[in-house]
Amino acid sequence: MGLREVKLERPHGPLPRPVSDFLQAARIRTDRFQYLHRDQPIHAFVACDYQQVFFALQYLKHSGQLPGRQFCEWGSGFGVVAGMAAMHDFLACGIEVEPLLVAESRSLLQEFKLDVEIAEGSFIADHITPPRLQQEGLTWVDLNSDAGYRQLDLEPIDFDLCFVYPWPGEDLFVRELFDRMAAPGALLLAYLGADEIACWQKVSS
């Protein structure tokens, strides 16, 4: 793969009040959603450590490594990371395949007047042959739905920074996918669970 790992600084400190208010509202909405859908839960819909991601976005914004401000959250769920990216003045959007989550994310983002567009569909571009999944049983990885990029009037090569929270066993898959779709210079930020966050930059086509 033509990716290099990017070292992330790990700043600490309190979140700005608008961000903490946004995350509290997202937490309440997520808890309510999961309770209402407890009999038919959406597989792999799990919140990441948003505080860590907020500071990672902040670091990358000021690091001088990003070629631009176009941001996309892959598998955007409630659109929380896309919302935080907008708070950092990225041109933010998200792509989510589950219609119920698309509706919830649009409602949350509208409540906080965040200029984020959420597209319904797959984050795998239509013209891309996806990598082979490295682990059997990852049935929630949607390889068949139409891509959401057309709704955004954007292509994968237009994004300067993407974020993803891969399920265990998906991390190599999303890195290979990013390598196939992204433009040289673009970055992929990933929350890997258990207090682990990583970033890679595409360095060759």
pLDDT in tens, 86-116: 999 999 999 999 999 999 999 999 999 999 9
Q: d(Cα 83, Cα 101) in Å, to the nearest integer?
A: 14
Confidence of residue 135 (pLDDT cuts 50, 70, 90): low
Over residues 55-81, mean pLDDT: 96
Q: d(Cα 108, Cα 147) in Å, to the nearest integer?
A: 23
Question: pTM of whole model > 0.85?
Answer: yes
Over residues 168-173, mean pLDDT: 82
3-state secondary structure the chain: CCEEECCCCCCCCCCCHHHHHHHHHHHHHHHHHHHHCCCCCCCCCCCCCHHHHHHHHHHHHHHCCCCCCEEEEECCCCCHHHHHHHHCCCEEEEEECCHHHHHHHHHHHHHCCCCCEEEECECCCCCCCCCCCCCCCCCCCCCCCCECHHHHCCCHHHCCEEEECCCCCCHHHHHHHHHHHCCCCCEEEEEEECCEEEEEEECCC
Q: Please tell me the least confidently modeled range out of 96-105, 114-123, 164-173, 175-184.
A: 164-173
The pLDDT score that the predictor gives to residue 130 is 77
